[in-house]
Structure 1
Amino acid sequence: MLVIQFPEKWTPGYTDNFVSNEVIVKDLDFTKVLDGLLDAAKWETYYDNSSDIFMYNQENTILNNNTRFRFKTFGFDVEAQVEEYALDQEAGSLRLAWHGWNEEEGDGFLEVYHAWLVERLDKNRVRILTQESQIGTPAKELAKSTPNTMLNGHQAWLDGLVRFAQN
């Protein structure tokens, strides 16, 4: 199975907050998972915690190498840029990661590295892994939340993406 490779700055355990969510689902359409994840405009159709998608310098809402975009999530206006995009349709794998930040200063500043792996497995299964590493005072506060706000929010994203791909 594939693993997420974090840039050194984002190494889990050295940042202020880290969450990891994963599902492995039988009979899931790999192509539909890609469609639901790579087209940022579709996020808000299956994930209530995403809105106001805006793409810089491109006409469509499809994430690709170096895509620069903005969206609202967890109450934050997040600016983001795709840092890793590696799709291998033949092998059945996608690596996607973006660097995100808000425009706040001081204690309000939040910076994240959000990574995804989508992998076709044997016996007609698809694995979806998402991990996020965060830096900043808001990340420290999120890490203390019980139940864990980020963990539950990202699980809702995964569950919604699975439902999207099943329809």
Structure 2
Amino acid sequence: MEDAPMVEDAATRWRTHDPRTHGHPEDDHAARDRLAREVPARHNEVIVRGVTAAAVWHYLTDTSTWESYYDNVADISFPQGGGPVLRDGLRFSFGTFGFPPLDAHVVEFQAPADGVPGRLSWTAKQDGTPEERLDVPHAWLVEDLPGGRVRVLTQETQIGRPAAEPARQTPKPMLNGHQAWLDGFVAAASK
């Protein structure tokens, strides 16, 4: 796939994160580095015909549609107002994978346009003790391809002890859950 935009590896970004200037002061860099290696970035990708990036983008960014095609999300809210359509800088929360609602913040939002892929990224966090803390950077890329095809790529890293056990399970619940999310909104957009 020549010239395909890359989604930055959030785990790599995290491993270069300096705890002296960011994050929780009681954490040490070596412990976070070990967790990042144990819970690497996961990615899922689909390339489909018969749908447009704009149609897929609607189902990805309009959170009021999520529960209609994805059964692993609940309790979507917008504590500071806004929504249900995501936009740059928006704060929202949602529950997934059995975690209580995570505080999320949209950090990148670029709708797809002619020759320009759509890019959406958010960070989701759960604060608490080191056993409870979770940091989840999640990125999406949606682009029209030649031949009436669309590529959707998602990459997520779950950093923290609550994510370590699911990462070791087989089958992989996070990987399979994200594939179900992709398949769900592509099917919804294809109707």
SS for the counterpart of 2:157 is strand
What does residue range 51-70 of structure 1 map to in structure 2 within 5 Å? 51-70=74-93
For residue 6 of structure 1, report the CA deviation from its aligned partner.
4.0
Which among 10, 14, 19 is matched to residue 9 of structure 1?
A: 14
Code of the residue aligned with 1:128 in structure 2: it is V
Over residues 90-135 of structure 1, what are the superposed CA-to-partner deviations in whole Å (9 max), with x where a residue is unaligned? 2241111101112332212111101000011011100000110121
What does residue range 14-163 of structure 1 map to in structure 2 within 5 Å? 14=37, 16-76=39-99, 77-163=101-187
Higher strand share: 1
Query: Which stretch of the first structure deviates more once superposed, 57-66 or 34-43?
Result: 57-66
SS for the counterpart of 1:117 is strand
CA contact (8 A) 1:111 1:134 kept: yes
Distance 1:65 1:10, change over 3 A: farther
For residue 51 of structure 1, report the CA deviation from its aligned partner.
1.1
For residue 72 of structure 1, report the CA deviation from its aligned partner.
0.7
1 CA distance for matches of 2:166 and 2:8? 23
1 CA distance for matches of 2:61 and 2:167? 27
Unaligned 5+ runs, structure 1 = none
2 CA distance for matches of 1:111 and 1:45? 26
**Aligned-CA RMSD value:** 1.8
Deviating beyond 2 angstroms after TM superposition, the runs of 4 or more aligned structure 1 residues are 13-18, 56-60, 103-106
SS for the counterpart of 1:98 is strand
2 CA distance for matches of 1:30 and 1:88? 7
2 CA distance for matches of 1:136 and 1:60? 28
Unaligned 5+ runs, structure 2 = 17-35
Query: Which stretch of the first structure deviates more once superposed, 84-93 or 69-78?
Result: 84-93
2 CA distance for matches of 1:10 and 1:24? 31
Code of the residue aligned with 1:27 in structure 2: it is G
1 CA distance for matches of 2:15 and 2:190? 33
| Greater relative CO, 1 or 2 (CA 8 Å, sep 6+) | 1
SS for the counterpart of 2:186 is helix
Q: Percent identity?
A: 42
2 CA distance for matches of 1:60 and 1:68? 9
Name the TM-score, length of structure 1 as normaliser. Answer: 0.91
For residue 10 of structure 1, report the CA deviation from its aligned partner.
6.6
For residue 87 of structure 1, report the CA deviation from its aligned partner.
2.3
